[in-house]
Amino acid sequence: MKKMLMMFIFFLTWSHALGSTEFDTCKEIFKLKKQQSMINPIPLLKMLLLPRSNTKYKHQLVHAKTIVGRVKSYPNFKNYIFSIMPSDTTSKEFEEELAEHLRLEAEIKKSNKNISKLFETKTYSECENERKKLDIDMIKDDEIIYRLSLLKKTNNYFGHKSIEQQVKRVEASGRLNAKWVVVKVTKLNELLEIIKKRNTGHIIIVAHATKSGSLMDSSGNVIPSTLFDQLSPSVKSINIFSCYGKKIDKKYGFANLLKFSRSYFSKRSTSIIEDSSEMDRTPIENFWSYLYKIDRRLSQLPITTAKRGKEVKNDVCSVNVSTKYPGDNYILKLNKVFIASVSSQKREYTFPCHLKQERNLFKISSGGYHTQLTEDDFNLSFEGYAPDEEKKYRDDNGKFDMGKFYFD
């Protein structure tokens, strides 16, 4: 037991020392071996099994302004963890990257096994001789770890697997107050459909982000902030597990969204990860501790609604879109609000009727892909009508602007 705990401390020391100072492997090992009589396994086990304090988050309580109904059975609502995943896990490119990932990972495992043998040595000189014989090179291992970090697709893939395993781990401990459903999100439509449902409660989004604070989808495109404008009144909290939390908070304004959008509850909340370091990194391995903390905090929110409030009508409107494009890289917006990612695999897309105006503008954009659209690429019909032909593909000044469809 003590040997296992000492190795854990050793790897923590290694991860902090590499890249900053020269690291003497045997010196650090014998420093721990000398201290082993003073090591108490209980505090160390707590450090391993309980949430780590370095996963800091900012939680904000929001007082909703527009109450639209009452909820009698909130425990029946579902809580979701959205894990953004790459959609091309069957492609040749992904398979090649996966093979490289597994090869590098095998090298690290072999090195870790060799390092464990150094703990069996009796003297510093014996340790050094064994280290040279086993060809242990911590600098080389650090380079391998860096190369692993560059494999974005496989890191996303294993990141999702890690999320699933960590959720199961915390659930098995019996310390969660709520039940959480992990959803693998490969398309924006999958995320949108769930946040629109009237039985969706708390949501956690695990995603990559840019330095400017934009959340990224599985294709590396920006998740539009207006996607959340169709948020169900049943959603009680939006929680983001990602790098650059403060910038995400500023860009998406989830607090204002929860405050002014229609709500069943008088009190809602939002949270982000706070990182004061220059790197601003949020390790996926810390998700389990974050989940434990945020679950405990969310369980303390009152589930009662305001005394007054009219029940919201669940009116649904739709638009038909035809296109030759099989992918889902094109974004459809109505009056600047995200409606769906469109493709040839689907024709009808629904949205709340309250998004309609007297004059409606549908806009199709390439969602980060700089493909030149032509007039034959997309056709729309809305409530049985075709777009205004005179204003089709034109902006307010009458200039050509592909992707705009006006319905007066």
pLDDT digits (tens, 9 = 90+) for 364-374: 876 544 445 55
Query: CA-based Rg of the chain, rounded to a whole angstrom?
Result: 26
Q: What b/e string do you get for 3-21 counting C-beta neighbours within 10 Å, with b at 16 or more?
A: eebbbebbeeebeeebeee
Domain ranges of the chain: 2-49+90-149, 57-85+152-298, 316-407
Question: Which H or E run contains 29?
Answer: helix 25-35
Contact 333, 362 (CB under 8 A): yes
233 token code pair:
């009144």
The model's pTM is: 0.71
Higher local confidence (pLDDT), 33 or 72? 33
Spatial separation of the C-alpha atoms in residues 311 and 195, rounded to whole Å? 18
Q: What is the reported pLDDT for 255?
A: 94
- 270 pLDDT more than 90: yes
- 3-class DSSP state for residue 408? coil
Q: Which segment, 17-21, 44-48, 71-75, 213-217, is predicted with the most confidence on average?
A: 213-217
Using alpha carbons, select from 233, 231, 245 the residue that is nearest to residue 274.
245
What is the residue whose two structure tokens read 């082993």?
36
- 53 pLDDT more than 50: no
Q: What is the reported pLDDT for 36?
A: 57
387 token code pair:
């777009």
Q: Cβ neighbours of residue 372 under 8 Å, at least 6 residues apart? A: 402
pLDDT class of 319 with cuts at 50, 70, 90: confident
Q: What is the mean pLDDT of the chain?
A: 76
- 211 pLDDT more than 90: no
Q: What is the reported pLDDT for 151?
A: 83
Spatial separation of the C-alpha atoms in residues 248 and 223, rounded to whole Å? 11
- 351 pLDDT more than 80: yes
Domain at 57-85+152-298: CATH architecture: 3-Layer(aba) Sandwich (3.40)
Strand partners, 317: 351
Average pLDDT over every residue of 246-274: 91
pLDDT class of 22 with cuts at 50, 70, 90: low
**Distance between the two ends of the chain, CA-based, in angstroms?**
73
Q: What b/e string do you get for 156-171 counting C-beta neighbours within 10 Å, with b at 16 or more?
A: bbbbbebbeebbeebe
Query: Among 58-72, 87-101, 266-280, 386-400, where is mean pLDDT lowest?
Result: 386-400
- 81 pLDDT more than 90: yes
Average pLDDT over every residue of 79-103: 83
pLDDT class of 52 with cuts at 50, 70, 90: very low
